[in-house]
Amino acid sequence: MTPPANLGRRGFLTGTALLGGAALTPAFLTACSRTQVGTGAPADDGGLLASLKEQGFVRVGFAGEAPYGFQEGGKLSGEAPTLHGEIFSALGIPELRPTLTEFGALIPGLLAGRFDVVSAGMAITPERCAKVIFSEPEFVSPTALMVRRGNPKGLTDLASCAAKGATVGVLTAAVETSYAEAAGVPDGSVKTLAKQQDGLDAVLAGRIDAFVLTGISLRWLARTNAGAAIEVLDPFVPVVDGVRQFSPGGAVFRPGAKALRDAFDRELTKITADRARYVGLIGRFGFTEREVPPRDLRTAELCRAA
């Protein structure tokens, strides 16, 4: 996963039914005849869902970021496409037709009508809510530590890192820098790294005692480095200025697609209310019961500027 992709999805400081895999075919125009003024994107007065059901597919944008949405064996895979494939199938739309694009181009592409939904595990932030509409949270991203096998310093979270004088690795410009500061880790004990693999390598080499990132990403990193002498500790939820940092993500729709979003949310709620089903769908991508969104965590609240 490249730093720019992380920077966009997770909101850093600078700012199936599925699919078994849907074939990576080019994006197609929908059959809707009515469009949003100025974009050419299909309007949604409740008719977009019916149109998508009639044509049998929904166009999704993704950014090639594992484990959220990526290509695997030439097919679309990952947390968001798998979850969204299940939901759209339940809505009578059996096929996802994907468009690969850069993360920063996902919202512009959605607004321009290149696709109908973003399936990329995008973080729900007030800035994005001013431009698009999000589903209810489909996951939360508790933070975790990657340490050398055996956890020699006996670490559990960032507060324990501060208490035990541990050196902590973070990605450049990542929100985990603020988490470490809030937990009392001295600036001199925080080392910045360019990419995730650098974090794992630094742990193995003893240059840092712990690498901090979301548990989701660390578990995927460990999976892709099978046999490495590291372990990922149990996740925790950081607190900054008294606020728990859940880092939730969701599906993204055009502002005019409220009826489609609402139908999506009804099916999403059925999945997040059933933890066994949730983990059964996306557990292979590193998602566990800890990533199930709390029932009282709502997008409307997350969209309100602090």
What pTM was estimated for this model as a whole? 0.79
Alpha-carbon gap, residue 276 to 288, rounded angstroms: 9
Give the closest residue to 133 by CA, choosing from 32, 265, 288: 265
| CATH code of the region 143-244 | 3.40.190.10
Write the pLDDT tens digit of every residue in 79-98: 999 999 999 999 999 999 99
Q: Report yes or no: 260 and 48 within 8 Å, Cβ to Cβ.
A: yes
Whether the per-residue pLDDT at 34 is higher than 90: the answer is no
Whether the per-residue pLDDT at 26 is higher than 70: the answer is no
pLDDT band at 45 (very low <50, low <70, confident <90, very high): low
Select the more confidently predicted residue: 26 or 119.
Answer: 119
Torsion of CA 2, 117, 25, 37, to 10 degrees: -120
Whether the per-residue pLDDT at 217 is higher than 70: the answer is yes
Alpha-carbon gap, residue 168 to 81, rounded angstroms: 33
Are domains 3-140+247-302 and 143-244 of this chain identical in fold?
yes
pLDDT band at 305 (very low <50, low <70, confident <90, very high): low
Q: Report yes or no: 168 and 190 within 8 Å, Cβ to Cβ.
A: yes
Per-residue pLDDT, 37: 38
Q: Where do the domains of the chain lie?
A: 3-140+247-302, 143-244
Phi and psi angles of residue 65, each rounded to the nearest 5 degrees, phi first: -120, 110
Domain 3-140+247-302: which CATH number of 3.40.50.10860, 2.60.34.10, 1.10.1740.10, 3.40.190.10? 3.40.190.10
Pairing of strands 239-240, 243-244: antiparallel
